[in-house]
């Protein structure tokens, strides 16, 4: 990482005037990870919607350097060097309390309900501040699909219950997740819905980059290109997409599959190796393109190079990649189960085609239905773009800012 992006702070921020709102954020990922991915400016914009807060301090665990206070691309950060889980927890809370007292923050937020979430709610309780915990996915379902033991799931479930109980509010990224938490016993009065923010403008459909991407991947101009963007893990059921491609090619169609993403941990990497083995057994070595994680600015061109976005997931906390595909004017083919989750992102027959989960032939049939009906493609494109507009960054940021004012007990500013 460029040393110029990280500046050591010898002394903590001096307490400023009480006027204005201040925020302390516990993040699951270190800021250095956002720098490496090229998304640090986007993150900076995301954590301070509409510029509501006068100051934002981030607290996180990292292996990227010694503990201390830093400024990372203009963001004040308290970095805790990873040591062990109990020690990390204690030092996170100490750093959080220090940050709240130094900056006179009115609210503490965590972007997940695991370790950062527990640190946030404990910091809030110890300092008398309100705390907000964000929920982005059904973690229990993901752990179950990844093969975690029942004991591990019970422990994580217990941690979540403690975090939800101690928090002031719980913010969910979809109505479906909100309903799910109510079923788990979280009081409805605590729950708010605020979607993930999507910069829809940068995905507007264009032909620029389409030919370049296809040429680089060896996909002929007239071939049928399917695309999927996201982590390559068991709950995404990528094997169904590969078998669906095989079904298309067996029927004589020149089809390719572009997979954008990686296996994030050892389980994910093992899953990817299994996918590569499946691809080899099916003779699809030249037609499945594993292109790994891509810079954010490259993703729109990749989407525009595709004819259909395909997903085999049966559940998504929100589904940012689906919204981005809709914003890019790429028709969606997803599972019936995903459409039935009820958060309105995917509506069968209106802005997506659906097939039964786990059915490669059902997937292939939906794709072929699209290729035979240009009017349907156009209708899905237009409906998708309209749907994606609901999740535009500016729209969601205003909603989130209003929720912050509510939790801080302030009126319009």
CATH of domain 200-389: 3.40.50.2000
Q: How crowded is residue 356: how many other Cβ atoms within 10 Å of its Cβ? A: 11
pLDDT in tens, the chain (413 residues): 454 455 655 444 444 433 579 999 999 989 988 888 788 888 888 999 988 999 999 999 998 888 999 888 888 999 999 989 899 999 999 999 999 999 999 999 999 999 999 999 999 999 999 999 999 888 888 888 778 899 999 999 999 999 999 999 999 998 888 988 999 999 999 999 999 899 998 898 776 778 899 999 999 999 999 999 998 888 899 999 999 999 999 999 999 999 998 876 677 788 888 999 999 999 999 999 999 888 888 899 999 999 999 999 988 878 889 999 999 999 999 998 887 765 556 665 578 899 999 999 999 999 999 999 999 999 999 999 998 998 999 999 999 999 999 998 864 33
Q: So where are the chain's domains? A: 3-197+393-408, 200-389
The distance from CA 59 to its chain's CA centroid, rounded to whole angstroms, is 20
Give the C-alpha separation, 206 to 303, whole Å. 10
Helix axes 238-250, 360-371, angle to 10 degrees: 60
Per-residue pLDDT at 294: 87
Report residue 41: phi and psi, to 5°. -65, -40
For the stretch 227-265, what's the b/e string if a residue is b when 16 or more beta carbons lie within 10 angstroms of its beta carbon? bbbbbbbbbbbbbbbbbbbbbbbeeeeebbbbbbbbbee
> Residue 255 is encoded by which pair of tokens?
């089809």
Q: What pLDDT does residue 4 have?
A: 43
Residue 363 φ then ψ, to 5°: -60, -50
Q: Which residues pair with 253 in a beta bridge?
A: none
Residue whose C-alpha is closest to residue 226's, from 209, 238, 235, 234: 238
Listed in sequence order, the residues at least 6 apart from 10 whose beta carbon sits closer than 8 Å to its beta carbon are none
Fold held by 3-197+393-408: Rossmann fold (3.40.50)
DSSP state of 188: G
In this chain, the answer to whether the domains covering 3-197+393-408 and 200-389 adopt an identical fold is yes
Please state whether beta strands 53-62 and 21-26 pair in parallel, antiparallel, or not at all (unpaired). Answer: parallel
User: What pLDDT does 248 receive?
Assistant: 97
Helices and strands (H and E) in the chain: how many = 16, 15
Listed in sequence order, the residues at least 6 apart from 327 whose beta carbon sits closer than 8 Å to its beta carbon are 198, 200, 203, 204, 384, 385, 388, 389
């Amino acid at each position: 990482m460029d040393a110029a992006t990280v500046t050591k702070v010898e002394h903590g921020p001096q307490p400023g005037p009480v006027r204005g709102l201040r925020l302390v954020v516990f993040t699951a990922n270190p800021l250095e990870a956002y720098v490496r991915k090229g998304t640090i400016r986007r993150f900076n914009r995301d954590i301070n919607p509409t510029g509501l807060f006068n100051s934002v301090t981030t607290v996180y665990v990292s292996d990227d350097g010694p503990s201390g206070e830093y400024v990372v691309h203009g963001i004040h950060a308290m970095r805790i060097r990873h040591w062990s889980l109990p020690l990390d927890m204690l030092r996170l809370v100490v750093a959080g309390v220090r940050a709240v007292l130094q900056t006179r923050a009115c609210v503490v937020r965590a972007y997940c309900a695991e370790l950062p979430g527990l640190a946030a709610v404990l910091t809030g309780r110890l300092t008398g501040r309100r705390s907000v915990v964000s929920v982005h996915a059904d973690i229990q379902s993901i752990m179950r699909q990844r093969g975690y033991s029942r004991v591990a799931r019970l422990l994580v479930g217990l941690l979540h219950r403690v975090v939800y109980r101690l928090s002031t509010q719980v913010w969910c990224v979809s109505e479906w997740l909100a309903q799910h938490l109510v079923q788990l016993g979280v009081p409805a009065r605590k729950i708010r819905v605020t979607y993930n923010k999507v910069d829809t403008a940068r995905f507007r459909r264009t032909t620029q980059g389409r030919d370049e991407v296809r040429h680089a991947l060896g996909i002929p101009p007239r071939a049928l290109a399917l695309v999927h963007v996201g982590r390559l893990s068991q709950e995404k059921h990528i094997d169904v997409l590969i078998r669906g491609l095989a079904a298309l090619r067996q029927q004589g169609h020149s089809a390719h599959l572009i997979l954008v993403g990686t296996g994030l941990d050892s389980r994910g990497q093992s899953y990817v190796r299994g996918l590569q083995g499946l691809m080899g057994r099916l003779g699809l070595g030249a037609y499945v393109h594993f292109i790994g994680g891509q810079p954010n600015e490259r993703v729109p061109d990749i989407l525009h190079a595709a004819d259909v976005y395909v997903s085999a997931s049966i559940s998504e906390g929100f589904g940012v990649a689906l919204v981005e595909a809709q914003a890019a004017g790429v028709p969606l083919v997803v599972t019936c189960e995903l459409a039935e989750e009820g958060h309105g992102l995917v509506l069968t027959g209106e802005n997506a085609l659906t097939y039964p989960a786990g059915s490669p032939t059902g997937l292939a049939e939906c794709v072929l239905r699209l290729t035979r009906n240009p009017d349907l493609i156009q209708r899905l494109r237009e409906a998708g773009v309209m749907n994606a507009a609901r999740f535009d960054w500016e729209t969601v940021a205003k909603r989130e800012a209003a929720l912050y004012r509510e939790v801080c007990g302030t009126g319009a500013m």
